[in-house]
Structure 1
Amino acid sequence: MSGFYSIRLTRHLKKMMKYMRYVFNDHFVLVCVFLLGGLGFYYSQVLKTLPVHFFWGRPLVLLFWLVILQIGRIATLAQEADKVFILPKEPEMNTYLNKAIRYSFWLPLAVLFLLGGLSMPLVVVSTGWQFSTFVYFIVMLFLLKVSHLRLQKYTLYQISDAEAKRWFFLWGFTSLVVIGCSLYVLPLLGSVLALLQTLSFFWFLNKKEQAVSLDWEMMVQKEKSRMHRIYQFIHLFTDVPEISSSVKRRKALDPLLSKIKQTSRNTYLYLYARSFLRGSEYSGLFIRLMLVGGVVLFFLKEFWIAMGVSVLFIYLIGFQLIPIYTQFDYMVMTHLYPVPNSQKKQAVSTLVTILLFVAAALFSLLILAALPNKLDGLMIIAVLMVEVVLFAKLYVPYRLKKMEA
């Protein structure tokens, strides 16, 4: 079964790598660089204002570490057919699931290392300890995550929801005690207690698993939910066959469509606007990007960082909306419309312009609320308006021409 998991993992990684080239494109990397740079600068400025032995530092770090320990779910890679075809191999599934735990640990390991390191300056300010104590803290976090994954494996067996909740509560309570001892008593003590907790969980859960059978339905459903979350993230950047867009009536938005004059000149504009408002693919993407950009801008106080982030998010929103141009290419009737093809391009450009002005207006309000100097806010708003016009008049036609080539 170990080799069977390796085969599935190879196929899974090959599929994920195909999508990753769309996710980690130049635009996304550029946005991440600006966001991380801006947040890092803001974080460093805040740390300079904190007093030595900052009282709230340790509680904040404790809660932060507990939250990031939740990142990462066991990747069983289970499939629907396993409930029938792999069922006879259940006695050997322990080897399969142990290999799943080992694979599932790598992503949380990287996240814990990065976010744990990010929180270390606050730990140093709050405790007065040296930065070298990071070694003890990161070992503690790694061990706690191992026990968390081991517990997730146990929940794949036929146990009651009440028992699963009791075990997760026990894990959360013991993890709270371990992190508290490391922050308030001694960093090395946290590593030792984390090791004891992990060994105890492995010993007790190994004993309990011998008396129960796998819940195949639960395992398959949890894997489906895990993959659905991954596909939802990838769907922000490219089309994913595993994510099917839904259509809703949304009668309350009909007044917006009534603003479009129903003439032959607006055929495609009405069609695209109706698709955007009633479909979930592009409207959901638009709302999510606006929310993320809005939250980030609300907490930025520096003029240049706020300008860079707002400009990048407007560009990113517009860039993700352009593919709506091909939304109806598969429909035969649209090719029979007695309207010129140039009307499609004009309709997409108009729709993108309107939506970008809406996003720019929201960002403008948040920028004015966040920046202490209102003149700086007005300058950013002017830049955003110019960007929207240039994007719609120059970049959109260029991209559409390239899509048709």
Structure 2
Amino acid sequence: MDTNILWKERFQNHVKMMSRYLRLMFNDHLAFALIFFVAAGAYFYQEWLSGVPDTFPVDWVLAIVLGMLLAHSPVRTFFKEADTVFLLAVENKMKPYIRNGVFYSLVIQGYWLAIFLFVFTPLYLKIYSGLDAKFLFVILGFLIGLKVINLLAVWFLEKTRDRKIQYLDVVVRFVINAIAVFMLVNQEVVFTLITIGFLLALVYLNYWNVHQKYSLPWDQLIEKEEARLQLFYRLANLSTDVPDLKRKPKKRHGLVRLVKKPIKFDQSNTYIYLYFITFIRSGDYFGMYLRLIGLTIFFIFWIPLFWGKMIFAMLFLFVTGFQFITIYNHHKTIDWVQLYPVSEQIRKKAVHQLIFLLMLIKVGMLSVLFVFATDIVGAVIYAGVGLAFTLFFENFYVKSRLNRMG
């Protein structure tokens, strides 16, 4: 078996799948919202930089953020369940396949390192005003080198099934990486090289103590690969229907009882009950809702100008309503839902009520926080605009989308 050919086939299938879903994800108003978000973020970031004091600890910020990105270094393998049968016999010939996986992981994760370094560059150059901008290429080169070392350290430790050792390895590598980045941004190249030496020693220990002694844990690697794939499917499912998504509901008994209590036991509330419980028990919807609220709170306190706070608050309010329209098709593949003796209009009405309630709760919460972020007048303005936008969005945009989906 030529494992290079096997890698190329799986890589091509992976790229086709990703490109197909990415086109669907960014083929709607979400793409416009993201472009606007990036442009507005860049503007307010520039405004914030003008007032940053020279004592701002940018070196520690870079050390922590980039240290986490370096410590998180999973190796993509694209392994599948059938590989436990068909590839087990050729495990000793898998080196070219794994090497391709490490290189692919380096490219993708190195790209994110470059993005985050680019984002922090204006702040870094402002604090270190006398620094030559060319030194940033030195930092990027060191970061790529550190990423290679971390990828090898993670892969050499994959053969152990001891979770405690793996967690300890992550913590140790984060500390070493953070120290290395801290020394590097402060132009302490010698100390940076010494720190990298400790990281190389860790790689050596992982190789001789684990990688050389054990065989590949196929079931564990396949499980991790499946988890990464399902994570992407969950993100894609927020914008389009993903038939391969495996949904794992959460129990959340307390929240379920709280939601069920005001719902009357009546046929007209069939879909209200279904969709409200689906929202609570699904990690995709409930978790996304909390994250969107958290991001909105961060921006209304971080952005200095009132109209900037309003723009971001309204943008995230739109995203909140937009993301949860897909709950309409959440049970599309379950046949028994289609057997409900309830009209389609009641089903659509339940989605309308859920989205309206979620947006209304968010407007209410943020109106209170606007009092602290601005003043009472600002809170009243946001509450009025937010309520008007919610009514317009729910009565026109959601209605048209559901008609197209149904």
Give the equivalent residue in structure 1 for 2:31: 29
Give the equivalent residue in structure 2 for 1:48: 50
| Residue identity matched to 2:373 | A
| Distance of 1:43 and 1:119 partners within structure 2 | 10
Aligned in 2, Cα 1:89/1:377: closer, same or farther, shift over 3 Å?
same
**2:180 aligned with 1:178:** yes
| Residue identity matched to 2:88 | L
Give the equivalent residue in structure 1 for 2:157: 155
Give the equivalent residue in structure 2 for 1:215: 217
The structural deviation recorded for 1:392 is 1.9
- Note the 1:385-396 alignment, pairs <5 A: 385-396=387-398
- Note the 1:71-110 alignment, pairs <5 A: 71-110=72-111
Kept in 1, the 8 Å contact 2:238–2:324? The answer is no
The structural deviation recorded for 1:348 is 3.0
Kept in 2, the 8 Å contact 1:74–1:101? The answer is yes
Which runs of 5 or more structure 1 residues have no equivalent in the other structure?
none
The structural deviation recorded for 1:108 is 1.4
Aligned in 2, Cα 1:237/1:297: closer, same or farther, shift over 3 Å?
farther
For residues 297-341 of structure 1, what are the alpha-carbon distances to aligned partners after superposition, in whole Å with 9 as ceiling and x for unaligned? 34333222222222222222222333344456655675562x654
Aligned in 2, Cα 1:163/1:274: closer, same or farther, shift over 3 Å?
closer
- Note the 1:110-121 alignment, pairs <5 A: 110-121=111-122
Range with greater deviation from structure 2 (375-384 or 246-255): 246-255
| Distance of 2:237 and 2:123 partners within structure 1 | 35
Kept in 2, the 8 Å contact 1:246–1:281? The answer is no
| Residue identity matched to 2:86 | F
The structural deviation recorded for 1:109 is 1.7
Per the alignment, in what secondary structure is the counterpart of residue 46 of structure 2?
Answer: helix
Give the equivalent residue in structure 1 for 2:369: 366
| Distance of 1:325 and 1:176 partners within structure 2 | 44
| Residue identity matched to 2:363 | A
Give the equivalent residue in structure 2 for 1:350: 353
**2:140 aligned with 1:138:** yes
| Distance of 1:223 and 1:203 partners within structure 2 | 25
The structural deviation recorded for 1:225 is 3.1
Give the equivalent residue in structure 1 for 2:17: 15
Aligned in 2, Cα 1:196/1:332: closer, same or farther, shift over 3 Å?
closer
Aligned in 2, Cα 1:95/1:252: closer, same or farther, shift over 3 Å?
closer
| Residue identity matched to 2:230 | H
Per the alignment, in what secondary structure is the counterpart of residue 14 of structure 1?
Answer: helix
Give the equivalent residue in structure 2 for 1:238: 240
Aligned in 2, Cα 1:160/1:387: closer, same or farther, shift over 3 Å?
closer
For residues 20-78 of structure 1, what are the alpha-carbon distances to aligned partners after superposition, in whole Å with 9 as ceiling and x for unaligned? 123324433333333333433333333322344x3623222222221232354210111
For residues 247-277 of structure 1, what are the alpha-carbon distances to aligned partners after superposition, in whole Å with 9 as ceiling and x for unaligned? 6473654454443455555454445445444
Give the equivalent residue in structure 2 for 1:59: 60
| Distance of 2:327 and 2:161 partners within structure 1 | 47
Instruction: Report the count of equivalent residues.
Output: 400
| Distance of 2:312 and 2:289 partners within structure 1 | 16
The structural deviation recorded for 1:212 is 4.2
Give the equivalent residue in structure 1 for 2:322: 319
Kept in 2, the 8 Å contact 1:353–1:388? The answer is yes
RMSD: 3.4
TM-score (normalizing by structure 1): 0.83
Per the alignment, in what secondary structure is the counterpart of residue 234 of structure 2?
Answer: helix
Kept in 1, the 8 Å contact 2:331–2:337? The answer is no
The structural deviation recorded for 1:357 is 0.8
Kept in 1, the 8 Å contact 2:179–2:195? The answer is no
Range with greater deviation from structure 2 (41-50 or 167-176): 167-176
